[in-house]
Structure 1
Amino acid sequence: MRKALVASSLLALLLSGCASNPADRDVSGTWINQVAIDAASQGGPLREALQAYGPNLEWEVNTKASQARYFNGFERPEGKLLGEKSGIWSVDFYGSSTTELKRDGRQLLQAANDNEPEQLFDRPSEPAPEGAPLGASFERALYASYMGGSWTISSGNGAGATVHFQANGQVSGLPGVDQYSLCLAGDCASMSGGYDSVWLQQGGQGNPWIFARSGKQLEIFQAINTSQADEVPSFTPGPRQWLLEKQ
């Protein structure tokens, strides 16, 4: 009987410990908008997916330093973590706005407010290397999912070659290109209107290009600037340079 009571007491203690486990409410660390990545990886337009499930793409929270900051594709605002009440952490962006964060199981929930909708974030499966800028973990996950795999050049220079877009922004098999960077938001998005754009370069020299993704097909077009020399560039699709098919 005594052994049974001891076992019962230990079980109750363990269960109560799990129920009040601070880790269940911990928001520290890096979180990425995996929902937006999954939506984009269905094979449709990139920015449509980011706008539908964003606008924020990555959070970095440091509860010990009372700091939190996020990446939305072009900005990295930093706020002050005010503290936790009933599992909710408030982030003050120095008087301009306040955002509430809380754990929702294994995800981080950003509560809806007057400026933004509710958004969900997950831990990155492969975080960016230490010292990488905020947003790098999201970009690596996006690049691996949206651009990953093997692509065949069906039309254009290098037809028949196999192309690989790496999660770190490197690319092989695409003639005249060794690096790429997808436009997520900001000036590059404004200059390309409603089109998706990508920066392609080799040896440090590059240019913007317009692309269109439809399922397993990826078309890359020359970006034609329709603005005058003294105006902000405005790009529209020109001749198609490549048609890639995912293997």
Structure 2
Amino acid sequence: MRKALVASSLLALLLGGCASNPADLDVSGTWINQVAIDAAAKGGPLREALQSFGPNLEWDVNTKALQARYYNGFEVAEGKLLGEKPGAWSVDFYGSAATDLKRKGRQLLQVANDNEPEQLFARAKEPAPEGAPLGANFERALYAAYMGGDWKIANGNGEGATVQFQANGQVAGLPGADRYSLCLAGDCASMSGGYDSMWLQRNGVGNAWIFARKGKQLEIFQAINTSQADEVPSFTPGPRQWLLEKQ
């Protein structure tokens, strides 16, 4: 009987240890909004997916330093961890309501508050290089999911060529461009109204373009500025420059 009691006690300790594994509750590290990426990867409008499952796109949490930061597509907000609540951490941002973070299985849950809805984040499968700015992990994952693969120029300059948009922002095969970036939020979004836009450049010089994604087709239009010279630019689609089809 004594041996049975000892065995039962050891089993209870082991099970209790598994149930309270600190790794299951740890919120430290970098987390990306994979839900928004998955929605965009279906091939629809980009900003529609980001707005539906954002607005925050990446979190970096350091529980040892009691610091937390998030990236929302155009700026980084820094907050202070006030202390751990039962199963959650509260992040204080100066001038706004605190945000609660907690683990939900393998995901990080940003609890809904008066300012923002509930949002889910996951670890980046292929982290950005060490030292990359906050937001780089999300952008790399988004670019791979939304722009990755081979695209054929079905119509436009370079017709018939294969175009590849890399996760690091490089582009090959698109005439006149060697780098690209997608507009996620902020000024570039305001200036393009309800349209998706991207920046294409070559040798450090570039321009804004309007694009429309419909499944395996990607149309890229010239961005026409309808504002006066002394006004904030306001872009609308002009002539179509390229029609790309995903292979």
Q: Scaled by the length of structure 2, what TM-score is found?
A: 0.97
Deviation for aligned residue 1:97: 2.1
Deviation for aligned residue 1:8: 4.1
Does residue 243 of structure 1 match 2:243?
yes
Q: Where do residues 52-131 of structure 1 align in structure 2 (5 Å cutoff)?
A: 52-131=52-131
Q: Where do residues 1-247 of structure 1 align in structure 2 (5 Å cutoff)?
A: 7-247=7-247
Q: In the alignment, residue 61 of structure 1 is paired with which amino acid?
A: V
Deviation for aligned residue 1:20: 1.3
Listed one character per residue, the Cα deviations across residues 80-112 of structure 1 (whole Å, up to 9, x for unaligned) are 001111111100002422101000111111011
Q: Helix, strand or coil for the counterpart of 2:131?
A: coil
Q: In the alignment, residue 181 of structure 2 is paired with which amino acid?
A: S
Single out whichever of 206-215 and 10-19 deviates more from structure 2.
10-19
Q: In the alignment, residue 90 of structure 1 is paired with which amino acid?
A: S
Single out whichever of 18-27 and 224-233 deviates more from structure 2.
18-27
Q: Helix, strand or coil for the counterpart of 1:77?
A: strand
Q: Return the alpha-carbon distance in structure 2 between the equivalents of residues 14 and 209 of structure 1.
A: 59
- For the aligned residues, what is the CA RMSD? 1.2
Q: Return the alpha-carbon distance in structure 2 between the equivalents of residues 43 and 226 of structure 1.
A: 28
Listed one character per residue, the Cα deviations across residues 12-45 of structure 1 (whole Å, up to 9, x for unaligned) are 2221101111111110000000000000110000
Listed one character per residue, the Cα deviations across residues 65-85 of structure 1 (whole Å, up to 9, x for unaligned) are 000010000010100001111
Q: Return the alpha-carbon distance in structure 1 between the equivalents of residues 116 and 159 of structure 2.
A: 44
Q: In the alignment, residue 92 of structure 1 is paired with which amino acid?
A: D
Q: Return the alpha-carbon distance in structure 1 between the equivalents of residues 141 and 114 of structure 2.
A: 29
Q: Helix, strand or coil for the counterpart of 1:133?
A: coil
Single out whichever of 154-163 and 90-99 deviates more from structure 2.
90-99
Q: In the alignment, residue 138 of structure 1 is paired with which amino acid?
A: F
Q: Helix, strand or coil for the counterpart of 1:64?
A: coil
Deviation for aligned residue 1:3: 6.6
Q: Return the alpha-carbon distance in structure 2 between the equivalents of residues 198 and 7 of structure 1.
A: 64
Q: Return the alpha-carbon distance in structure 2 between the equivalents of residues 80 and 129 of structure 1.
A: 25
Q: Return the alpha-carbon distance in structure 1 between the equivalents of residues 156 and 7 of structure 2.
A: 72
Deviation for aligned residue 1:130: 0.9
Q: Scaled by the length of structure 1, what TM-score is found?
A: 0.97
Percent of matched pairs sharing the same residue: 85
Q: Return the alpha-carbon distance in structure 2 between the equivalents of residues 11 and 204 of structure 1.
A: 63
Question: Structure 2: any 5+ residue segments left out of the alignment?
Answer: none
Q: Helix, strand or coil for the counterpart of 1:236?
A: strand
Listed one character per residue, the Cα deviations across residues 148-168 of structure 1 (whole Å, up to 9, x for unaligned) are 001000000000001100000
Q: In the alignment, residue 94 of structure 1 is paired with which amino acid?
A: Y
Q: Helix, strand or coil for the counterpart of 1:219?
A: strand
